[in-house]
Amino acid sequence: MAKINKLPKHMADLIAAGEVVERPASVVKELMENAVDAGATSITVEIQHGGISYIRVTDDGCGIDREDVKTAFVSHATSKIKTAEDLNTILTLGFRGEALPSIAAVSKVNMITKTATEEMGTSLTIEGGVITDFSDAGCAVGTTMIVRELFYNTPARMKFLKKDVSEGNCVASAVEKLALSHPEISIRFIRDGKQVFTTNGDGNLQNVCFSAFGKDFSNGLLNVDSAVGNVSVNGLVTPPFNCRGSRGMQYFFVNGRSVKNTTIMAAFESAYKNSVMVGKFPGGVLFITLPPELVDVNVHPSKIEVRFSDEKAIFDAVYHAVKSALSENTSLKQAVLPDNKTVFTDIFSKPQQEFKQTTVEENIAYTEKVLKPLSETSFVSDVKTDYVADDDDDPFNIEFPISIPEEKIESKTVIVAENPKEENNIRLIGEAYKTYIFIELNGKLCVIDKHAAHERILFNKLKSESQISGSQMLLAPVTVTLGKEEYIAVTENIETVIKSGFDVEDFGNGTVIVRSCPMDLDSCEIAPLISEIAEYLTKNRRDITNEHLDWIYHNVACRSAIKAGDDNSDVELLALAKQVVNDNDVRFCPHGRPVMIELSKYELEKQFGRV
């Protein structure tokens, strides 16, 4: 007896439905995409109980001719492609002709639709894939789809659904994604009778972000707009200081389709490297547009994954687009002070404890080393002219007659401003907690973290110097004895260590010898640093990008930089401040902490009850 049976149509449909319709959000996604493909200018989505009991999607698109209405629910019936060649140049969101039959197979569907040329619309009811009603309907041009009791006939699937709230959140996220990718369409989302958000369809992405994600996310978004070859990238991204605790706010679209893609994600995050704190992730909405033949969207039934014929081109395009958006950004993190009353009580009740910041103490303990006179270190060298205070009447104003002999200024130690703008007006106010430099910059009060600033400057300098050209020869070479594993790791990666500015050689017997080291590093730091590098290399053998080198630069910079708690003269502090101000690349320390923040006049006035 034959054992292989052809499954009846309704069973085949149920199985196929499993791939397309996973949960209410997938239904909403498919129905909204159909509305977009139909040329809608406004779409309303309404759900109840997370979309499990009720979903309605109404659009003002082209509608469906009465003679096509039933066909639309037949498997693989689509108006969007005709030939196999069409698959290579898909410009619509749908094309597989699977959504409507899949949805209809696992729920109770009512479609009401009308085209512009018809006098009367059509209403079709399908329950579990079986047509139960087909009749006239008085309605406007466009289509309304109502989906009730999802998975009512597939209890196994029903069990996999989460609570109404979670399913509702997924639906919200699907609606948001569609709204982001179509700012030109006005979208309304109603959840359990309450309007959650609307977009006005004015084509402005910033406005959509504001409606969907609120002020916190939308504030200060940076505009991305660039093209490399035939790949263009645009959208909005968060400035580094507004990064998030997860990747939840990363939205990527390829040719208008929301996708998950590791290449895009990696390129996006790489652009923020060294500007974002560990454990923080940038957010943003990025649209990647490329000729449709260079991307395969037919990889996954729900079309969430795509494949690129040239991954590298995509990586480069995204990386450069975001990187240039970030480099044009000069905005500073704004300090928001707490409610003024609490500040007063705290300050006056226990001044000592409040003022002794733990970071200072930690840092003082951390550094026992004797700092080289700062005038010999790099950042002072950028001050070439005498500093003259700009306001004589100001008691806090300090005049700094700085005269550094020209020959002391080595060109390689001068960090040149990336986009030197008009002359910045900087006035040093002073230093607090031996950590923070207060300056007035073009009339604004700014605070600089001196360690973070110096660390970043040194890090940039190390990165820009080729090989060991920025090294200093040691009077007495330093030998460092390492553990077996560590010794192997260092000798295996000796090129990387040399590249980072150490002239290091295998000395045999588990020992390496260092003859020169990066310019600003104190010689007593060499041995501990080499041990640290060795340990790091042991744990991270594989180096795909320049990760290792960057890690070493971070650590060299950290050890070479001045620390919180160090004594620095006003001359040094001002010189450092000038370097920070004049170089847009000195905004975050290599671990992503901000280097300079602005304390706005408004914030202060708020504290003093002036506003």
Site of interaction with Mg ion (CB under 5 A) = 34, 94, 99
User: Under a CB-based contact definition with an 8 Å cutoff, are residues 208 and 198 in contact?
Assistant: no
Q: Would you say 12 or 498 has its CB closer to ligand ADP? A: 12
Q: How far is residue 39's CA from residue 41's CA, in Å, rounded to a whole number?
A: 7
Among residues 143, 181, 263, 367, the one that binds ligand ADP under rule CB under 6 A:
143
Q: Does 38 bind ligand ADP (CB under 6 A)?
A: yes
Nearer to ligand ADP, 150 or 233 (CB): 150
Encoding tokens for residue 568?
A: 């620095």
Q: What interhelical angle do 311-328 and 262-271 show, nearest 10? A: 30
Distance, CA of 338 to CA of 347 (rounded, Å) = 13
Our finding on whether 34 is near ligand ADP (CB under 6 A) is yes
Among 14, 72, 222, 514, binds ligand ADP (CB under 6 A): 72
DSSP result, 192-257: TTEEEEE---SS-HHHHHHHHHHHHHHTTPEEEEEEETTEEEEEEE--GGG-BSSGGGEEEEETTE
Q: Give whichever of 68 and 603 is closer to ligand ADP, judged by the CB atom.
A: 68
Beta partners for residue 146, in sequence order: 56, 110
- Residue number, 94 or 239, with CB nearest to Mg ion: 94
Residue 183 touches ligand ADP, criterion: CB under 6 A: no
Query: Helix/strand/coil (H, E, C) string of 483-540?
Result: CHHHHHHHHHCHHHHHHCCCEEEEEECCEEEEEEEECCCCHHHHHHHHHHHHHHHHHC
Answer for which of 41, 48, 53, 79 binds ligand ADP (CB under 6 A) is 79
Q: Which of 66, 70, 80, 108 binds ligand ADP (CB under 6 A)?
A: 80
Q: What's CA 302's distance to the chain center, in Å?
A: 25
Looking at the Cβ atoms of 98 and 431, the one nearer to ligand ADP is: 98
Site for ligand ADP contains 129 (CB under 6 A): no
Give the one entry of ligand ADP, Mg ion, none that residue 97 binds, where binding means its C-beta sits below a cut-off of 5 to 8 angstroms depending on kind: ligand ADP
CB nearer Mg ion, residue 93 or residue 415? 93
Q: Extract the tokens encoding 32.
A: 């909204």
The HSE-up count of residue 414 (CA atoms within 13 Å, CB side) is 12
Q: Which two tokens stand for residue 526?
A: 């060499």
Structure tokens at 102: 């899949």
115 binds ligand ADP per the rule CB under 6 A: no
Q: Which residue is listed with tokens 């209809």?
A: 104
Q: How many CA atoms lie within 13 A of 304 on its CB side?
A: 14
Say which entry of ligand ADP, Mg ion, none residue 431 contacts (CB below 5 to 8 A, set by partner kind): none
The full 3-state SS of 433-477, as one line of letters, equals CCCEEEEEECCEEEEEEHHHHHHHHHHHHHHHCCCCCCEEEEEEE
- Check binding of 99 to ligand ADP (CB under 6 A): yes
Cβ at position 160, least distance to ligand ADP in Å:
23
Tell me which of ligand ADP, Mg ion, none is bound by residue 315, counting a contact when its beta carbon lies within the kind-specific cut-off of 5 to 8 angstroms: none
Using the contact rule CB under 6 A, the part of the chain among 61-69, 324-332, 412-420, 508-516 near ligand ADP is 61-69
Give the one entry of Mg ion, ligand ADP, none that residue 240 binds, where binding means its C-beta sits below a cut-off of 5 to 8 angstroms depending on kind. Answer: none
What are the CA-CA distances from residue 54 to residues 98, 172, 371 (Å)?
Answer: 21, 14, 69
Return the number of the residue (25 or 35) whose C-beta is nearest ligand ADP.
Answer: 35
Q: Which does 538 bind (CB under 5 to 8 A by kind): Mg ion, ligand ADP, none?
A: none
**H-helix or E-strand containing 269?**
helix 262-271
Residue 59 sits in the site that holds ligand ADP (CB under 6 A): yes
Asked whether the beta carbons of 496 and 525 are under 8 A apart, the reply is: no
According to the binding rule CB under 6 A, does residue 62 interact with ligand ADP?
A: yes
Q: State whether residue 407 is helix, strand or coil.
A: helix
- List the structure tokens of 112: 């009401």
Question: What minimum distance in Å lies between the beta carbon of 216 and Mg ion?
Answer: 34
Contact range with ligand ADP by CB under 6 A, out of 31-39, 360-368, 391-399, 571-579? 31-39
Is 97 near ligand ADP (CB under 6 A)? yes
| In the complex, minimum distance from the CB of residue 197 to ligand ADP, in angstroms, rounded to a whole number | 21
Of the candidate spans 62-70, 295-303, 367-375, 475-483, the one that interacts with ligand ADP by CB under 6 A turns out to be 62-70
What SS3 state is found at 170?
helix
Residue number of the CB closest to ligand ADP reads 94
**35 binding ligand ADP? (CB under 6 A):** yes
- Tell me the closest approach of the beta carbon of residue 31 to ligand ADP, in angstroms: 7
Closer of 79 and 324 to ligand ADP (Cβ): 79
Nearer to Mg ion, 73 or 272 (CB): 73
The site partner of 95 among Mg ion, ligand ADP, none (C-beta below 5 to 8 Å per kind) is ligand ADP
Residue 94 touches ligand ADP, criterion: CB under 6 A: yes
Task: Classify strands 194-198 and 142-148 as parallel, antiparallel or unpaired.
Answer: unpaired
Binding of ligand ADP by 187 (CB under 6 A): no
Nearer to ligand ADP, 86 or 164 (CB): 86
Report, in Å, the least distance between residue 59 CB and ligand ADP.
Answer: 5
**Regarding beta strands 596-599 and 444-449, do their DSSP bridges make them parallel or antiparallel, or are they unpaired?**
antiparallel
Find the DSSP H helices in 54-146. Answer: 66-69, 99-105
Q: If contact means CB under 5 to 8 A according to the sort of partner, which of ligand ADP, Mg ion, none does residue 560 touch?
A: none
Residue 473 has which token pair?
Answer: 């020869």
Please, are residues 595 and 331 in contact by the beta-carbon 8 Å criterion?
no
Interface residues with ligand ADP (CB under 6 A) are 30, 34-35, 37-38, 59, 61-64, 72, 77-80, 94-100, 143
